A and B are shown apart, each in its own frame.
Chain A
């Protein structure tokens, strides 16, 4: 069989696509397009012998077309893939069933220098002079792949670091709280008040430790999302952040969302915790004054679906965002209150964006704070 690189009679072998593309584009045009493209293109026959290589192979593999044509494809393949490749081609020729995706596959290849490179490949098949020809259009994505790996490593390291530091802080924190309790037992008068203040500071440090741990997980890719019931995740979150001075209600059936359940719970813990804390420490709203009249629940928190079915909300009937800088709400370390660590909403936003969701803060129907999470595929 003659190589398609060999000069041929123009016009005699035009494929229908060539004709459709316009008479003024001749074969030389396509030849030039393929030869000069930035993606490497290789064609092989049924025996995995290279029939055609464009010029970009020089840049991608370190071998120009002259060095590749007539050679086995395994020239540019890491040795560990040779057997699999031959087996896959043989199986395909026999059954016509593809053993891997033909579009945008990531596979390693071997550069002339011996280095391994990462390719993004799309395979094509056509017949040429009665023979089956397989072509690969290959883009070198080595740098991108390495950058991604490096980022993953850094994220892991950050999480590990935050974990180690946080855990290492809990021991001395326990000791400090312990020592404080012992000292408080023997103290009297003003000293007791001072020690109580110190104890409150230690509690705040502990909150920061928990938040930093959660935040360190933010760079981590979310686990494969699965359908979880928004209601049951919210109820689980409420168990850890809810208080007797607050009630949780579900408006509209919240339905299920596709999410990483653990991260969604962390997100809801922060949103619900916020509603409880900010509702409780601020001047009472009308609703809360009514409810609190008999010493009953003070803050009412609601979770429900958005009207357009695009997500869900968490709302409370507290004083809303009075005196809070709305633009800075989602910043690290910004807190609308004395007691917050300022990490909560930052955690919320990072979990949302890891899912591809958007969080916005708005005013609820009764003037309270309302957080809407949209872009959620809810059912």
Chain B
């Protein structure tokens, strides 16, 4: 199958070089990392309408491609070479506030509570769920860092609670820490948001 992407690190949408769309406006940049080329291609196709999509077929390639232009990373967990969690750890070592969503075939085990991702998607995903996730992650950039943290912690807690029984989770130290952090951040955010009327903020964190 002929590739629609330019391969590792190059813009997927060739007609919009440098991430500039027809109106000449900067589009948010998404980097999708997966060793399955068909998966990265499809993500590029699905998200290509609103984002500039870069692709990488390995953790190593992702680290080379990642720069300050990238807003959101979609990261596979099981890849030959550098794994998703190792790649994530190296991304976090850098001074960047890029948002990272895991995009993986693996159900989240309680231990992921300690992994520094912002969101977790279990394959297979479709066009719509990808758009929802990437849009939410991108919008986080408009808010205080506490909100970003709150979002990540709330998502983590939600995916874990959907997957495991409360008894199984309560024996996980990582999970207990997560719940504690969540409660603290919730209180902090409420304090920060007191007296403000941000409808967008409400939409974003209302359920967190």
Contact = CB atoms under 8 A, between A and B. Distances in A.
B1 to A, nearest CB: 7
Interface string A170-204: 11111111110111010000000000000000100
> Which of B1, B4, B36, B43 is the most central at the interface, judged by chain A CB atoms within 10 Å of its CB?
B36
Nearest to B167: A223
A181 B46 contact: yes
Contacts, number: 74
Given A168-B105, A171-B36, A171-B105, A179 B167 contact: no
Q: Size class of A's contact patch?
A: 20 to 34
Contacts of A224: 167
Nearest to A228: B166
B45 A206 contact: no
B41 A174 contact: no
B165 A179 contact: no
Contacts of A167: 105-107
B122 interface: yes
Residue among B4, B43, B107, B124 facing the most chain A CB atoms (10 A cut-off): B124
Interface string A254-272: 0000001111000000000
A185 B166 contact: no
A174 B167 contact: no
A164 B27 CA distance: 39
B139 interface: no
B115 interface: no
Interface string A194-235: 000000001000100000010000000001101000000000
Interface in A314-359: none
By size class, the interface of chain B is 20 to 34
Contact of B42 (A177, A206, A223, A263): A177
Contacts of A179: 1, 38, 41-42
**At the interface, is chain A mostly helix, strand, loop or mixed?**
helix
A183 B1 contact: yes
Contacts of B78: 171
Interface string A235-263: 00000100000000000000000001111
B126 interface: yes
B36 A178 contact: yes
A340 to B, nearest CB: 19
Given A178-B36, A182-B4, A260-B165, A173 B42 contact: no
Given A178-B42, A182-B1, A170 B167 contact: no
Interface string A363-374: 000000000000
B123 interface: yes
A174 B32 CA distance: 14
A7 to B, nearest CB: 59
B192 interface: no
A177 to B, nearest CB: 5
A244 B39 CA distance: 30
Nearest to A167: B105
A175 B78 CA distance: 14
19 contacts: A170-B122, A170-B124, A171-B36, A171-B123, A172-B36, A175-B36, A175-B38, A177-B126, A179-B38, A179-B42, A202-B124, A206-B124, A223-B165, A240-B162, A260-B165, A261-B166, A261-B167, A262-B166, A263-B165
Given A170-B124, A182-B38, 8 more contacts: A175-B38, A177-B124, A178-B40, A179-B38, A181-B45, A181-B127, A182-B4, A260-B165
